[in-house]
Structure 1
Amino acid sequence: MAQDRVEAVERALTVLEAFDSPQEHFTLAELAKATGYYKSTLLRLLGSLARFDYVQRDDHGHWHLGHAPVRLARRNLPGRHLATRIQPLLARLAADTGETATLLEVQDGMAECRLVALPETSLRHDLQPGDRWAVMDDHDPRPVLPGGAMVCEALPGDALESPMWLALSGPAGRLDTRRAKAALVDAVARLVAGPGGSFRETSP
């Protein structure tokens, strides 16, 4: 309905739509041509979008999408489909090993627990989806665990996707790292060999 329209919001969304293109980086002139907006108007819109990390400007003055669209997309359907495929696998890992089984993701120097299955024991590594911690290396998602240990196995992906791992963690004196590693390698192989050959499918 016309009364529900907010012109400034629609202009900002029009700018974002311009990035739905095989071209990844745009000059201000290219965005002006794609949207039909004056450069002065575009700069104001891009400034607001940049403050919320929907777009970013590189050192050459070119504009590209920021992290916010990807972050929001992760919260939608692909995340639910990921849970459908991986949560039962985590439950099996936790039951077979007696340790905490998790799906971890690293983005911007922070590791996040995306999915978890806890073993039926009171002495365990308690993690919940959404728990986050800083990491020194994007290729090592393990947190500092005094008295504990974590074993990880990377999931295959490409350079445009945030790195993900399956992990098993628990008390250092109980966790059998060799057995845990073997279980994780087997789990990753089964995921990759599943429907379509990719665990990162985005359609149900």
Structure 2
Amino acid sequence: MPIDIPSPPSASTLSAGYAANMEGVAAVDRAMTIAQALEQARRPLTLSELSHATGLYKSTILRLLVSLERCGLVMRRADQAYTFGPFAFRLGKAYDANAPLEATLLPLMQQLVQQGMESPSFHVLRDDRTRQCLLRIDSLHSTLDRVRVGDLLPLAAGAPGKVLQRAVPEPLLADLSPLLQLSFGERDPSCAAVAGPVYGPGNFLLGALSMSGPLDRFNATSVRVLGPALLAACQRATAQLGGQWPDPQ
């Protein structure tokens, strides 16, 4: 049966108290910018580098680091640079235990590569403007597009972003599946991609599985080969992750 996506409540229906609660806690938001800076840097950062990356004063960062070190999310090395602590590792393991994305998706992505398809990637929603590549395998082709694990990419450009935004399907793929999305040179003028959704329990959209490569290898003929192969992988991933594949009708 089709997935029923409830509409968010309108601003007029929210109470003042609820709206205030939804603003969050400023100190937590600032602490998370430190964690995000470390995650994006992929290396330990000094206090000065954290200040530059977050836009926060060093005195503010130091206060926040006390709490982050106390819980083990961040640790200070002997050279006074900061990096992730053991709690970050435990969070990652807990996340993977709840949604074993890597163990489920990587074999399916490898199968696509062995079938001669374009490079598969898995993207998740980061915020209202960006998506992040969590998994990536390069294809066997001699020329590739440049997408790497950890890359932050614009949500408004590219086939995976359209899936994550639940955009209107591409007319070119309408007869293949309303779940597929396509992009030609949107994020990178020399690249193209086709993408589909992967669902988890409760029909929650976990992310977008895509295949991407140089623009000159994408045309109506190749898309009609890539699209069904990708969709089959998305459907298998959804089943293995406890989701329900929507009825195409």
Alpha-carbon distance between aligned partners in 2 of 1:124 and 1:183, rounded to the nearest angstrom: 19
SS in 2 for 1:75: helix
Match of 1:184 in 2: 230
Larger C-alpha radius of gyration, 1 or 2?
A: 1
Q: How large is the Cα RMSD of the aligned pairs?
A: 3.5
* From 85, 88, 92, the counterpart of 1:75: 92
Residue 164 and residue 96 in structure 1: after superposition, are their counterparts in 2 closer, same or farther (change >3 A)?
A: same
Alpha-carbon distance between aligned partners in 1 of 2:91 and 2:230, rounded to the nearest angstrom: 24
Structure 1 position 135, deviation (Å): 2.0
Unaligned runs of 5+ in 2: 1-16, 18-24, 34-72, 74-87, 165-182, 245-249
Residue 165 and residue 152 in structure 1: after superposition, are their counterparts in 2 closer, same or farther (change >3 A)?
A: same
Residue 158 and residue 106 in structure 1: after superposition, are their counterparts in 2 closer, same or farther (change >3 A)?
A: farther
Residue 89, structure 1, aligned to residue 80, structure 2: no
Residue 173 and residue 51 in structure 1: after superposition, are their counterparts in 2 closer, same or farther (change >3 A)?
A: closer
Residue 130, structure 1, aligned to residue 150, structure 2: yes
Matches within 5 A, 1:1-204: 48-52=27-31, 75-79=92-96, 81-108=100-127, 109-136=129-156, 139-140=162-163, 144-157=187-200, 163-175=206-218, 176-194=222-240, 197-198=242-243
Residue 110 and residue 159 in structure 1: after superposition, are their counterparts in 2 closer, same or farther (change >3 A)?
A: farther
Alpha-carbon distance between aligned partners in 2 of 1:133 and 1:152, rounded to the nearest angstrom: 15
Residue 105 and residue 50 in structure 1: after superposition, are their counterparts in 2 closer, same or farther (change >3 A)?
A: closer
TM-score by length of 1: 0.55
Alpha-carbon distance between aligned partners in 2 of 1:126 and 1:190, rounded to the nearest angstrom: 26
Unaligned runs of 5+ in 1: 1-26, 28-45, 55-68, 200-204
8 Å Cα contact 1:105-1:162 kept in structure 2 = no
Q: Give the share of equivalent positions with the same residue, in percent.
A: 20
Alpha-carbon distance between aligned partners in 2 of 1:133 and 1:115, rounded to the nearest angstrom: 13
Read off the aligned partner of 1:184 and give its amino acid letter.
L
Structure 1 position 162, deviation (Å): 6.6
SS in 2 for 1:190: helix
Alpha-carbon distance between aligned partners in 2 of 1:126 and 1:85, rounded to the nearest angstrom: 23
Deviation by residue 1:80-105 (Cα, 9 ceiling, x = unmatched): 73101111111111221331101111
TM-score by length of 2: 0.46
Alpha-carbon distance between aligned partners in 1 of 2:146 and 2:91, rounded to the nearest angstrom: 24
8 Å Cα contact 1:153-1:167 kept in structure 2 = yes
